[in-house]
Chains A and B, each alone.
Chain A
């Protein structure tokens, strides 16, 4: 006996909704308080977080840009990290 397509689809949507409701919020770390338009623009550019719940955290030490943190995964577009990597690279010369 095999599972029918209908059963599979129902299972899939149920599991997905369950997982989505338990998953943690995505954190956007920005140097200042982001406006709604800015958050929407970020969501547009990065489709993987478009449907997720977003939490904005302000951290002025990142200087400029922003970081997107999802659990232990991080997308780092901050100026601080760019400067740090430059510092590391210049030490090798």
Chain B
């Protein structure tokens, strides 16, 4: 429900390392060349290239397009609590932060500048971390990307799923729904629009 404590983990790590003289590493610029293709609804722009890079690793070998997955994750996060959204933005910062990389895997380069093998190792380092919240963050990132792909028809052929049992026309967009008016004497909501 919220990932607030992750912020504390990241701050604690940053403070520990800056005391040791490594503060400049946090400013190592990552690869910001991957830009959103439409306005973001939940995440800050700086998180987007990191999310795209994560999506590319999580969904490697599938038909998923990482940029499209990143947009779907951003859209799905509209439904999360404000604290979850903010904490997740912190997670992307933490993953990209050279200090974290140095602390967790002896590698100060930002996630977006790692080669594919090193990116996988970085994610698996979180999976196997002794810090429960890093393991939780690994699963949060993984699940968001997986859900964005496997919830949609583009994945169905890959897994042998035939799709819904009962086909229906696409409903109108939610915002276009007309007010529902139900006669109080009606026995059921059968026939309600929308």
A binds B: no
Which residues in B have some Cβ–Cβ distance to A below 8 Å?
Answer: none
